[in-house]
Structures are given as structure tokens and as C-alpha cells.
Amino acid sequence: MAIDNDRLLELANEYGTPLYVYDGDLIEKRYNDLINYISWPKLKILYAMKANYNLSVLKLIYSLGGWLDTVSPAEILLAKKVGFKPENILYTANNMTDSEVDDVQESGVLLNIGSLSRLERYGKKYQGSKVCIRFNPDVVAGAHKKIQTGGKLTKFGVLLEDVDTVKSIADTYNLRVIGLHEHTGSGIDDTNAVFQSIRNLLSIAGRDNFPDLEFIDFGGGFQVPYHPEETRIDYGKPGQKIGTIFSDYCSEYGRELEMYFEPGKFIVAESGYLLVTVNTLKDNRGRLIAGTNSGFPQLIRPMFYEAYHHIANISNCDGKHKNYDVCGNICETGDRFAEKRAISEIREGDVLSIENAGAYCYAMGGVYNLRAMPAEVFVYKNEIKSARKRLTNQELVDTIIGECEWLQNL
Ligand SMILES: Cc1ncc(COP(=O)(O)O)c(C=O)c1O
């Protein structure tokens, strides 16, 4: 464990709970790991900022030389504020609106378009522009059905068999297709599925179809172990194989293209901890319920994806293990971080650490029941920095009434 339990407990005491803590050193390590795994000289890592857009994380990725995968105009604004250049950002939203497309085009960021009708509208308005096309790799993989983005049941990307239509739209409007993209899913534990998606995309990426290519983007989806019994994939060998597949493809294409990957989870998931305090214990005829001061709006993955997050009682690491339902403070029965989970004995006042909380946790958060999101703290090279404060109740209420003048005098 990178940040040990004693340190987490100190942070909980200093900043209060609920509290998110991020380990910047681990983010840096994972970023470098990936670069070392994938053997391709022109490799670019476009961090999927939707996973965790805390400024401290973005600044670190920027300082490491990373690029960004973005999905909304506000993400682009934030990215630019950090210093990312438009040419180092790709825009891969789905169901884009016309005004959103205009904003992104104006910002100088390359659009990655995943539907024929949007491509047609884009071509009409922005004739002669550069563009990237998102294809559906036709491979179904990912840790849960809600995070599988390939195959005909998903809304993402253009079907591979529609490649001729893509070409004809591009020809009609003189569009320069400089990139092709696919993203198969998140938390893919089957590297064969990854190779298959890569091959499927490359099968339509020949020079006769797309003569102007500068890069191919194979998305994110690198697996991170969440459960202690889940094995960590060593991406060394798969990374070499990807290099070989791509090298063969580039030889045939006649030019060495850039290879992009867009990891989110792999870079940040393991760096994060959500620290919560147990304030209410119940023994419901033998079913032990530990009630905490956080809830699913602050970390939704268990409720949304049945995701496992390891939970440690950092106030009593050596206690006797008992099975607990670890619940939140939200008025919903499903508001649970874990069910019948073996955890060292919990007492009221104990602090629990919910691990692997760096990706799609704070970022997917909200203020349901009007409880403000936790503060965030960033630990890097032995320095501890506050990375975002928690709104006070008054500030939270002010965000609701602030803009509606006609309601303010009620
Ligand atoms: C287009 C795209 N790229 C990259 C990612 C990042 O995936 P992961 O966090 O699993 O690496 C996602 C996740 O949803 C995505 O939709």
C-alpha cells in the first residue's frame, strides 16, 4: 500500500471525513508503467480525464507529458486552464449538440466523431477540416455490462461495415481523416479481446480507405485489480504484442503512425482512498450494519456496477474480523458500499478506508440529499496538499439559489 493506514488516519483527523485522498506518486508510477509496457516509439497517453478531473491530478499528468481524452466542452476549458494545448487534446463525446461541436471546433481541439449523421453535419459546416472517426470495434468486453462499449447493443461509434459510407461523406466534404479510434470497454481482463479490437479496427484502416492517417487510438480499458484475489495483468507481454501488430500494420500502411491509448482507471484508480467515519452500529438479529457519514452519491460504483471496493478499518486494523454491511447516510436501501464484508471489528467512531477510489468515484459524484461532496487531498513526494475543499452547507445551498433571482425573495 502506497499511503499507509497511519498516514490516512492522520489525514482523516486533520481534514475530517468523508475525505478523498490521492497518491500522486502512484499516479506517476502507473503513467510511466504504461509507457514502458507498450513498445511503440510514437506512443501517446491521453489520460481520460472523466475518471478524475481534480486539478492536482491534471497538473501531474500535464507535468508528465500526458495528453488528454475529453468528453465535454467544460473538460476542455479546465484542461486549457491547466496548460494542455488544444493539439494535445482529443474530443470524444457522444450525442454531441451542434453548439458543442462549434465550441470544440473553435477551441482548436480535434473532434472524434462516432456517428454518420454527425459526420455529415460536421462535414457540411466544416468542409476541408481534419477529423478523427470513432469506430465500434465489434468486440464485447469489460468488467460489467454497463461499461462494455463495443458490439451492436451500444450507442458508441460507427459500425465497421459502414466504413464506405464514412469514406464517401469524407470525400464529399473534403474532410481529412487523420485519426481512427475505438474503445472496447472498461476493466477488460481478457487481453485477447484487446488484440481482437485492435485487429478489427486496423482491418479497415488501410491506406486505400484512409490515406491521411496520423494516428490510431485504441482507447482505454486497462484492467486494475479491485478485489484482493483478482490478479494484476502484467501488460509487458501484451504491450510488446500490440507493438508488433502495429508495426506490421504501419509497414503495410507505408508510414509510422502515432499510437494513442486513453487510460483512465489504470492511471488513477489505485491512487485513491475515500475515508469515512462509522457513526452508527446496528445488530439486526445477527446482521451487522455499519452506518457511515458518506453515501452512494460520493462513491457510486458499488451501487451502480456492483463494483467491489476493498474496505479496511484503519482505526482497528488488528481487530477480529466480522461481517458487516457498510452503509451510507442516504435515504435509499441500496445505499451500501459493501454487503456482508469481513472487516476487522468496527466500533462507532472508527474510520474506514474505501480503497481504489481514484477513478470514477469523486468524478461521478453528486449532492443527492443535499450533502456536499467530500474534500480532496493530494499527497505527492511527501507533501500533502489540499486539492479541493468541501462546500459548507451554506455554500451548497447558495449554489442552488444563487442564480434564480425570482426565488431569492421567497
Ligand atoms: C472513449 C473512452 N476512452 C477512454 C476511457 C477510459 O476507460 P478506462 O478508465 O477504463 O481506461 C473511456 C471510459 O469510459 C471511454 O469511454
CATH number at residue 174: 3.20.20.10
Last residue of a domain, one of 267, 293, 318: 267
Asked whether residue 11 is assigned to any structural domain, the reply reads no
Distances (CA, A) of 385 to 218, 219, 356, 377: 34, 31, 20, 6
For residue 275, the domain's CATH number is 2.40.37.10
In the reported structure, the alpha carbon of residue 206 is separated from the centroid of ligand 1 by a whole-number distance in angstroms of 25
Is the domain of 261 the same as that of 344?
no
User: Mean pLDDT throughout 326-338?
Assistant: 96
Is the domain of 243 the same as that of 232?
yes
Is the domain of 213 the same as that of 327?
no
In the reported structure, the alpha carbon of residue 219 is separated from the centroid of ligand 1 by a whole-number distance in angstroms of 6
Asked whether residue 7 is assigned to any structural domain, the reply reads no
Is the domain of 278 the same as that of 229?
no
The verdict on the CB of residue 51 being under 6 Å from ligand 1 is yes
Q: Look at ligand 1, atom 14, and give the residue with the nearest C-alpha.
A: 186
Last residue of a domain, one of 247, 267, 287: 267
pLDDT above 90 for 86: yes
160 vs 351: CA distance, rounded Å: 50
Is the domain of 250 the same as that of 310?
no
User: Mean pLDDT throughout 372-379?
Assistant: 98
Distances (CA, A) of 54 to 22, 256, 360: 10, 35, 11
The verdict on the CB of residue 18 being under 6 Å from ligand 1 is no
Residue 179: per-residue pLDDT: 98
Using one digit for the tens of pLDDT, what is the confidence trace for 176-193?
999 999 998 877 788 888
153 vs 166: CA distance, rounded Å: 20
Is the domain of 226 the same as that of 336?
no
The verdict on the CB of residue 221 being under 6 Å from ligand 1 is yes
- Given a contact cutoff of 8 angstroms between Cβ atoms, the answer to whether 309 and 356 are in contact is yes
Q: Count CB atoms within 10 A of the CB of residue 338.
A: 20
272 - beta bridge partners?
Answer: 22
On the question of a cis peptide bond just before residue 18, with omega within 30 degrees of 0, the verdict is yes
The DSSP bridge pattern shows strands 130-136 and 110-113 to be parallel
Last residue of a domain, one of 234, 252, 267: 267
The verdict on the CB of residue 266 being under 6 Å from ligand 1 is yes
In the reported structure, the alpha carbon of residue 102 is separated from the centroid of ligand 1 by a whole-number distance in angstroms of 24
Lowest-pLDDT range of 69-83, 140-154, 352-366: 140-154
User: Mean pLDDT throughout 318-345?
Assistant: 97
Closest ligand 1 atom to 181 CA: 1
What residues contact 43, with CB distance under 8 A and at least 6 apart? 35, 258, 259, 260, 261
In the reported structure, the alpha carbon of residue 170 is separated from the centroid of ligand 1 by a whole-number distance in angstroms of 26
Of the residues 132, 331, 361, 404, only one is catalytic, namely 331
273-303 in b/e form (b: 16+ CB < 10 A) is bbbbbbeeeeeeeeebebbbbbbbbbbbbbb
Determine the structural domain holding residue 317 and report its residue range: 269-401
Is the domain of 61 the same as that of 188?
yes
Is the domain of 230 the same as that of 330?
no
Q: Look at ligand 1, atom 9, and give the residue with the nearest C-alpha.
A: 264
Asked whether residue 408 is assigned to any structural domain, the reply reads no
Asked whether residue 34 is assigned to any structural domain, the reply reads yes
User: Mean pLDDT throughout 283-307?
Assistant: 97
Q: Look at ligand 1, atom 4, and give the residue with the nearest C-alpha.
A: 220
Asked whether residue 106 is assigned to any structural domain, the reply reads yes
Distances (CA, A) of 370 to 21, 241, 275, 322: 22, 49, 19, 32
Residue 410: per-residue pLDDT: 59
Could you give the number of structural domains in the chain?
2
Per-residue cell: 98:
451542434
CA 350 centroid distance within chain:
30
Out of 46, 49, 50, give the residue to mutate to test ligand 1, the one with the largest number of ligand atoms within 8 Å of its CB.
Answer: 50
Is the domain of 307 the same as that of 240?
no
The verdict on the CB of residue 114 being under 6 Å from ligand 1 is no
Residue 403: per-residue pLDDT: 67
Per-residue cell: 140:
464485447
Q: How many residues does the chain have?
A: 410
Residue 186: per-residue pLDDT: 78
Asked whether residue 64 is assigned to any structural domain, the reply reads yes
Q: How confident is the model at residue 173 (pLDDT cuts 50, 70, 90)?
A: very high
Asked whether residue 4 is assigned to any structural domain, the reply reads no
In the reported structure, the alpha carbon of residue 51 is separated from the centroid of ligand 1 by a whole-number distance in angstroms of 8
Using one digit for the tens of pLDDT, what is the confidence trace for 110-169?
999 999 999 999 999 999 999 999 999 877 777 777 778 777 778 889 999 999 999 999
317 tagged catalytic: no
Is the domain of 101 the same as that of 225?
yes
The verdict on the CB of residue 17 being under 6 Å from ligand 1 is no
Mean pLDDT, all residues of the chain: 95
Is the domain of 102 the same as that of 147?
yes
pTM summary value = 0.96
Is the domain of 156 the same as that of 31?
yes
Closest ligand 1 atom to 264 CA: 9
The verdict on the CB of residue 181 being under 6 Å from ligand 1 is no
Rounded to the nearest 5°, which phi and psi values hold at 97? -90, 165
Asked whether residue 136 is assigned to any structural domain, the reply reads yes
Using one digit for the tens of pLDDT, what is the confidence trace for 38-50?
989 999 999 999 9
- Given a contact cutoff of 8 angstroms between Cβ atoms, the answer to whether 343 and 313 are in contact is yes
In the reported structure, the alpha carbon of residue 149 is separated from the centroid of ligand 1 by a whole-number distance in angstroms of 9
